[in-house]
Each structure stands twice: as C-alpha cells, then as structure tokens.
Structure 1
C-alpha cells in the first residue's frame, strides 16, 4: 500500500500468493501435516476415520460401477485433502463424495453430484432403501426433502473447490496398476502372484503410500509384499519354466541389486511400503476376529464418531492365507534383515507445510486476492 492510497482511505492491495502442486510428499512431510490436521483425535481414531472413508468410497464406486482408477484416485484425493484441512471441520462422507466427484472428472467417468448422493444415501441409510419402490434398491432423491438434498449438494461442491485448489488444478493422475502387470512379467512372477500384487495395490490406496511414492515404486513394493506373503513359512513349490518362485522374487527385491538402477527404486523404500501394507493387513485380520457377531440391519448414524465405524462399510483388506499372528511374525523377520532408511528430500526447495500454513490455507476457496496455482514444486525442474 503506497502513501497516496493510505491518505485517501483506499483498501490495501489484494493479497497475492502462489501455490505449488506437490505430486508426492516425504514421510516426514506427511507426519507433520497429518499431526497438524488431526486435532484432538488420536492416531488410532484418525486411522479409523480414514478406513471408514476409504471403505465408503470403495462401496460407492462398486455400486456405481466406476473403474478402479476412479476409485483409487478418489481415495488419494481424500488423503491429500486432510493434509491441509482439519478433520474436525469436515464430515468424512462429504469429503469422500467431493473426492469421488473430482476423480470422475479426472478420469472422464463423470457423474452429477445428485447421482453420487443418491447412491450414498442407499449406502448410509438402508432403511430408506427398504421403503423404496425402485426395483434396483436405489433411492430416488426426488422423493426426499429437497432442502436436505440441496444442502448436501452444496457441501460437496464447496469441498470440490477446496480439493481443486489443493491439487492446484492439476488433473494428472498416474496409477500403479499397469505397472503391476509389466513388473510382474519383468520379474517372471506367476499369474497368481501378479493377481495378489494387484489386490494389494488396491488395498494400498487405503494408506498414504500412493501420495508418497511414484506409481512404479508402489507397484514394485506390492509385488514384493505379495512375494513375501506367498513365501514366508511356506515350502518352495517349483514354478513353470520361465517363472520365478515367490521365494526368488522376495530374495531379489529384498536386497540391493541391479534392479534398483533399472527401475529407479531403492530397497529401503520397498521395505517401508511393505511394513505399511502389512500393518493394514494385520488391522484387517484383527478386525475380522473381533467382529464375529452378526451385523445389524439398523441404519448407522450419518455422522459416526471415529470410535464407531459404519457397520455396513468396514474396511476389508486383501484375502491372504495368514492370521494376525503370522503377519506379525513376518514383520519381525523383516526387521531383522531390513536396510537403513535414508532421509528423503522434498521435491523442489519449498516445504509444502510452509506453502499451505497459517493464513495461506484460509485463502483456499475464497475470492480474496490473487492466487497463482502452479503444476509443480518450485525449482523442481525435471524431478516431477
């Protein structure tokens, strides 16, 4: 603001800032940002909310018939959103619906917000489905209170705007699934092992791994996890000619070798991802053991607490022939031979926790000042 503006009582120059899209975050950045937005929730409660949201997106996408890339991207968008916005300020259902809506735009599988809401009502309120006369068991939103439907739609659109600004309007979305097939062939994995790696990659999107590592590393890590699960405490079964056993693939990917240079990956990254995925499997195995009573058909609350997940959309990990005790033994065995974790540097020179902190986050979703949204971190060059 110059002197002439001040003397005439004019408003100061609008705030101007730049936001940079970070395709991936380091584990340290994720820990810092997650803690910042967790609020009074414990880490366990936060994880419960995250799994409820991911399971809700899984159910929503399956009922509509979205391809895997749309569902997985929606889960990634949900994770990214809560790196910058407090969990206490948003209901996970609203954020999930907005994430799915943005994902449908990114993958050209567009559905209108009212269509997403109609399916979400059927998932969240099964008692309304029972009253519905629709032959497919769907809910006709035209028969519902239109004020309620419109309020829900407006919340989805408001969060959509925040999501778009959070990703800096960068609609690029690279998925690890094609890499699973290619890497499976490259390492001589059997079809059974490749299918397990694919399923593990699906479940991997319930974690923060896909926003921390490029898709080819995510795919390679899940091939490694699949090989570990198929070989740990299992006898060696000869494979067909030209196909490696899971024991051989686990041995290759669990040690330094030429494959690191060839695939631009490092063994310590694979081991870190493997522990995250196996933790998810342990959580799923323990939940399956604890939840032995029949599920009640009563409608869950539309705003469940982190301590009481939806009974209709509990997280379910990939089906593997291990119980929680065996998976824990696998983790112990991995700890005994794992490599030291290197410190990963952020892309570019800017820390996203600084770029999206304080008053800057408050500018997202508002029309105040000028905000430049750039597709990559500053000074990242060709690293993206």
Structure 2
C-alpha cells in the first residue's frame, strides 16, 4: 500500500468522499459573572439545602474569611475575591460533600494567588487555628496542618473549575471612595464613609456580589447609608439622577437584600449592632412601598412559575463527593456539572458566543439520525413441561389431544430503530 492510499479520505458507497469525523472535541464551559435570584434559588433547591442551615453556613464561612484575612493583614480586595469564589463553590456542591470551613479557607487560598498576596495553605490554616485558640498558638510548620493542607489543595482545583478559570471579580470599596468624595467632598464624608465601608463588608454575607454590577452595589450602599443616618439623601438622589448607568430596580433589589440580612441576622453583622432594629424595618417598608407604587418586581428577571417547576435531574456522577474524585466540572452557574461521568475533555472558554458557535458546528457531526420500523415475526409456542403432546402425561387430558394456539404458532410484533 502506497503512502497516498493512507492519506486518501474514505469514500462512500456511491463514490463520493465521506466526511472524516475525528475524536469528540470535548465539552465547553463558558464562565458567567452574574446570576439571577431565580438561578440561585433553583441551584440551592437542586442541592437539597435547608434554608436555615444554608444561611448559617454562609454567614460563618464569610466571617471566617474576614477574620483570617485580618489576622494575616491581607487587603480587602483579597477578601472580596475569596467571598465570591466561596459563594460560587457552595452553589455547585451540596453541604454534605465538604466542610464549609475547608471551602472558606480554600477560597481564601485561591484568592491570595489571584490577587498576588500569596500565602501558603499552612499559613492560612495556622491563622485560622490561632484565631480560635489564642492561648495555644501553633506555627505554620506544625504537623497538625499536614492533612488539612492536602484538603485545601484538593479543593483548590475544584474552585478553579467552578469559576471556569475566570478570575474577574468586582471590588466595590474602590469605587465607593470615589462616589462618597464626589457627593460629600473629601473632608465632610468621613463618618458617612465608615458606615458605608462596614456595610460593604456585610454585603458579602449575601449573594449580592454575584448578582449585581459594581456601580449598582455602590449606589445601594450609599443610599442605604444615607437613609440609616438620615443625612445627604437628596444629594445621593441628585448624583444618581445624573448617571446614565444607574438602574433603579437593581439598586432597590440590592438594598432589600442587605436589609434582609440586617433584619434576620441583626447581631451577626458590623453595621447591624450600630442601629436599632426598628430603623432597618422602617426603611424596608418604605422601599417595599416604592416597589408597589412603581410596579417594580422585588427581584429582577424573576418568575414565580419557573421557581415552582421541578429542577432537572442531576447526572449520576454529580452525586460523587468533590474530595473523592478529580473529574472535570463545568465552571459557571449556568452549566452544572453535566459532563461528569461522560467521555471527553472539559474546556473552559471565556467568550460565550465563540463557545456557542463551536458547539453548533460540532453538533451536526454527532447527531444520530434513525427511523422506526416494524417487523412481524412468527414464533411457535413450545409445549408446556407438565403436558404430554399426546395427552397421556401428567396434567394432560386422558385419551384426547389438546388443541390450542400452540399448535398453530403465534404472531408477535416487534418494534425497533435503524440508525444511520
């Protein structure tokens, strides 16, 4: 056989060249920076999370990140990134599959690398241990951190795959400084800014950072601070009216999400203990009244009928514990681990349009076309064991012959599919 014969493409039966189909290119996951309230609720429902337990784990995990961050003198930018990864990771895994404290520390470990404030996994574990046990501090090279360190490193890969290797996050504190200075000036808004800054830390105990843009978060913080202090509300409204990117429904939803945190978990926040609980409730009533007056939905892009629909069944592989497998996972909130347990490679693409175009091009080569057909088969029924063909055996009729369908055969219909 000549080399030209090896390179020639296969030919079809009619002489035309058949298209050559290579190996499956794998599965694509495109990162998604934002998630709606409906998407978050459906993902929590699919995970089977108890709402009270889920809120408790979320609050404690963010508080642990903040405490360790302060102990290691890490910037608030690292805190923002760690909390964002922590929320996305918890939306993709059940609480029973991991320890929320390990997930929080692993998120901080990844955030330190992303924000160029690198810390070793044992350094983070030692800081968390020393915060809980100040009377018996331990060094980072202690042997007690060897096993937990391996768990943190194992969760690191899962967090990277969960976020789709997309390290973009939002930092509202930097823009908050500029907005407060623009509204109140550089010297008059110090006390105002301190309250708004503390509120920006409390905000990461909710899902607001993965739902809203930076500007919407900042304007919600500024307006809510003005309503709580009773100062400069008119200046805030004038500033918002002059900005084209200002979106009132997004700001209202953000403020109500933060108020829900202060009303339900009053003592678990920084700002909640500085004001009376009735003050938060009065502001919440006023904002709800504005929603009804302007006919604005409480949550953007929300559908109550869609929330009540049954969630799509999980794949068998998605029940596997994340710490016990190294299978590839999708990396965003819109594609939940659908490729686990399937053959092929998971690839992460940042451009959703390019990913969709590639999937459409590849799909035409892997679509299975078939037609249904019906075949009639004549199948004789065998003689039962407890009867003799001539009727003289056990269970038969004496001196007679049995006549029935078994003497004539039986016609049965079979349905099937022919694949092309």
TM-score with structure 2 length normalisation?
Answer: 0.65
**Where does structure 1 differ by over 4 angstroms across 4 or more consecutive aligned residues?**
12-15, 250-253, 351-354
Name the SS for the 2:347 alignment partner. strand
1:279 aligns to 2:260 (yes or no): yes
1:24 aligns to 2:34 (yes or no): yes
Map of 1:1-384 to 2, 5 A cutoff?
16-37=26-47, 39=48, 41-124=49-132, 126=133, 129-130=134-135, 132=136, 138-145=137-144, 149-188=145-184, 190-231=189-230, 245-249=231-235, 251-252=237-238, 258-261=241-244, 264-285=245-266, 288=267, 315-318=268-271, 321-338=274-291, 339=294, 340-341=296-297, 343-344=300-301, 355-357=335-337, 359-360=338-339, 369-378=344-353
In the alignment, is the contact (CA less than 8 A) between 1:122 and 1:139 conserved in 2?
Answer: yes
Alpha-carbon RMSD: 2.8
Q: Distance in 1 between matches of 2:166 and 2:333?
A: 19
* Deviation of 1:279 (Å): 1.7
CA radius of gyration, larger in: 2
In the alignment, is the contact (CA less than 8 A) between 1:84 and 1:361 conserved in 2?
Answer: no
Taking a change above 3 Å as real, the CA distance of residues 319 and 27 of structure 1, as seen in their structure-2 partners, is closer
Structure with bigger RCO (C-alpha 8 Å, 6+ apart): 1
Name the SS for the 1:372 alignment partner. strand
Which digits, 9 at most, give the CA deviation of each residue in 1:254-307, with x for residues without a partner?
xxx74352xx1211111111111112222343xx4xxxxxxxxxxxxxxxxxxx
* Deviation of 1:353 (Å): 5.4
Name the SS for the 1:108 alignment partner. coil
In the alignment, is the contact (CA less than 8 A) between 1:106 and 1:173 conserved in 2?
Answer: no
Q: Distance in 2 between matches of 1:361 and 1:324?
A: 46
* Deviation of 1:197 (Å): 1.6
Q: Which has the higher strand share?
A: 2
Taking a change above 3 Å as real, the CA distance of residues 199 and 143 of structure 1, as seen in their structure-2 partners, is closer
Q: Distance in 2 between matches of 1:160 and 1:332?
A: 42
In the alignment, is the contact (CA less than 8 A) between 1:260 and 1:266 conserved in 2?
Answer: no
Q: Distance in 2 between matches of 1:334 and 1:250?
A: 16
In the alignment, is the contact (CA less than 8 A) between 1:176 and 1:219 conserved in 2?
Answer: yes
Aligned twin of 1:8:
none
TM-score with structure 1 length normalisation?
Answer: 0.71
Q: Distance in 2 between matches of 1:85 and 1:284?
A: 24
* Deviation of 1:30 (Å): 1.6
Taking a change above 3 Å as real, the CA distance of residues 352 and 77 of structure 1, as seen in their structure-2 partners, is closer
Which digits, 9 at most, give the CA deviation of each residue in 1:152-199, with x for residues without a partner?
111111111011111111222331111101122333363322232222
In the alignment, is the contact (CA less than 8 A) between 1:227 and 1:249 conserved in 2?
Answer: no
- Number of residue pairs aligned between Structure 1 and Structure 2: 300
After alignment, is 90-99 or 168-177 more displaced?
168-177
Gap regions ≥5 residues in structure 2: 1-21, 303-330, 357-420
Name the SS for the 1:19 alignment partner. strand
Taking a change above 3 Å as real, the CA distance of residues 251 and 62 of structure 1, as seen in their structure-2 partners, is same
Q: Distance in 1 between matches of 2:223 and 2:354?
A: 33
Name the SS for the 1:355 alignment partner. coil
Q: Distance in 1 between matches of 2:81 and 2:353?
A: 24
